[in-house]
Chains A and B, each alone.
Chain A
Amino acid sequence: MESRGYRWSRRAIGIVSLLLVAATVILGLWITPPDVVQGQLVRLIYVHPPVAWVAYLAYGVTSIGSILYLWKRTRNLKWDLLAAASAEVGVVFTGLTLITGSIWGRPAWGVWWTWDARLTTTALLFVLYLGYLALRRVPADSHQRAVRSSIAGLIAFIDVPIVHQSVVWWRTLHQGATVLNPSLSPKIHGEMAMTLLLGFITFTSVYAWMLMHRYQIAILEQKVLDAELDQLIEERRREPDSQYGEARPANDVGNIDQPSKV
């Protein structure tokens, strides 16, 4: 079962996330002024870049989880489950990035979609990790699934810069970095910058909360699988005509590798 500390920290992060979301909504929709050029449309800036950041963060966590599982010294199924949970949340946030980007793109660029470098990379990233999640659904034992998906997760992460470079050379239309530009002088109003920063904190907190929930569900799913397997083994042992001989008492599970009666 989950520890009390984990449960409390999850709840605390949930409450903090809720408050942060409320603050972001109020600041983003009412307190901050509309932009000189983009008007009300600028309010999407408090959602779109933070959501994209969380998607990259989630895939980063997936890669770390994958490395920790593949490295034999730190091998533990929990790392694989953490990688999977983070990838799932990452796919949700990548989807949100694409949707919010499209909503922004339609009035700003006049099209829902354009073959810009970042858009194309993000779309490919979305499909790459959908593939990762599909691979996880392939029936296999826990270790086999963990090894395969860790490798796939890691390769996908290594592939991202190559994909990005190729589409950057192909075409670039997306606006340059606003805050972290090469001269490090933010071209953004103070109030708006604060709300944007709050957006980043809010969505990171929401990510942490979703990750903790998804991870806990993954742990429970794994426990159910293990319990089902144990039950099946027990039932097999109880069958009178099984190669393990006559029925045994319920509490005598024994060792499957060393049957006492053959």
Chain B
Amino acid sequence: MWRDALLIAAKDLRIEFRSKVTLNLILPFAFVVLIIFAFALDTSPGTLQKVAPGLFWLAVLFSSIFSVDRAVAIETDDNAGDGLLVYGVDPGGIFLGKVVSVFVQLFLLEIFLLLGVVILYGPKIGGWLLMLASAFFATIGLCAAGVTYSQLASGSRAKQTLLPLLLVPVVSPVLLAATKAWQDAFAVTSSLGDPWLRLLIVFAVVYLALGAIFYSSILEG
């Protein structure tokens, strides 16, 4: 399963590296989101500094919808996923491979997005360890739930509408916990013992397990 996961992740990242969809489309989209948030809210530095963690994670959440949709569409277009199953690739491996590939893309996107937040909103950043750990587990949670739901919604003509409706309520704890963890990190009030980080770890573990268990049923169903 692990070997299959690495193969799938490498394949997807290679496709991504060649097509550059994340770089050319999703990253600019995330920046647009950061800019329009400032339009919607008061542009005074105090307000934007205060809400910066929430806006950052909202931008990541919106971007993740496109990323997971694309990761699954690679296999559903032309029934490539059926081919993988016929070759005997482990469905759990496909799931984990997709999660790893989307994780790498989202994590890189988060680095760029953080730069954007620092430049546009100007928050005081501290508590790097908590920030890094919460970003790591929040992204795993987003990817695991996202890939599972994207596969569930595949085959629908209204997939682009259905996926956010299914996914956003499910990952709302990630948005909430990651925002709070980053607020704590920025204020340097707590470190790795932060309860929000624990919630993010629980979410990531639960959704990785659920995805690995159910992915074969979704694919074969």
Residues of A within 8 A of B (CB): 70, 124, 127-128, 130-131, 134-135, 138-140, 143-144, 146-148, 151-152, 155-156, 158-159, 162-163, 165-167, 169-170
Contacts and interface: CB of A to CB of B under 8 A. Distances in A.
B206 A162 contact: yes
A138 B173 contact: no
Instruction: Pick from B149, B156, B172, B177 the residue with the most CB of A within 10 Å.
Output: B172
Given A147-B217, A147-B221, A152 B152 contact: yes
Given A135-B162, A165-B199, A170-B180, A128 B170 contact: yes
Q: Is the interface of B mostly helix, strand, loop or mixed?
A: helix
Contacts of A169: 180, 195-196, 199
23 contacts: A124-B172, A135-B162, A138-B153, A138-B155, A139-B157, A140-B155, A143-B221, A147-B217, A148-B152, A151-B152, A151-B214, A152-B166, A155-B170, A155-B214, A156-B170, A159-B170, A162-B202, A165-B173, A165-B199, A166-B173, A167-B176, A169-B180, A170-B180
B33 interface: no
A146 B220 CA distance: 12
Interface in B138-177: 148-149, 152-153, 155-158, 162, 165-166, 168-170, 172-173, 176-177
A213 to B, nearest CB: 27
Instruction: Pick from B156, B180, B221 the residue with the most CB of A within 10 Å.
Output: B221
A148 B218 contact: yes
B186 to A, nearest CB: 17
Given A70-B217, A135-B152, A151-B214, A162 B203 contact: yes
Q: Which 8 A-B pairs have the closest CB atoms?
A: A147-B221, A166-B173, A138-B156, A131-B166, A127-B169, A128-B169, A131-B165, A151-B214
A127 B156 contact: no
B196 to A, nearest CB: 8
B210 interface: yes
Nearest to B179: A170
Instruction: Pick from A143, A151, A158 the residue with the most CB of B within 10 Å.
Output: A151
Interface in B41-96: none
A131 B196 CA distance: 26
A86 to B, nearest CB: 19
Q: Is the interface of A mostly helix, strand, loop or mixed?
A: helix
Contact of A124 (B169, B203, B206): B169
Contacts of A146: 221
Instruction: Pick from B199, B210, B214 the residue with the most CB of A within 10 Å.
Output: B214
B169 A131 contact: yes
Interface string B179-221: 0100000000000000110010011001000100010011001
Contacts of A131: 162, 165-166, 169
Given A166-B177, A167-B176, 13 more contacts: A128-B169, A131-B162, A134-B165, A135-B153, A138-B158, A138-B162, A139-B157, A140-B155, A147-B218, A152-B152, A158-B210, A159-B173, A163-B172
B221 A148 contact: yes
Instruction: Pick from A130, A140, A170 the residue with the most CB of B within 10 Å.
Output: A170
Contacts of B199: 162, 165-166, 169
Nearest to A170: B176
B162 to A, nearest CB: 6
Given A144-B221, A166-B199, A155 B148 contact: yes
Nearest to A128: B169
B121 to A, nearest CB: 22
A159 B171 CA distance: 9
Contacts of A158: 206, 210
Nearest to A144: B221
Given A143-B221, A147-B218, A135 B166 contact: yes
A127 B217 CA distance: 24
Contacts of B221: 143-144, 146-148
Given A70-B217, A144-B221, A155 B173 contact: no
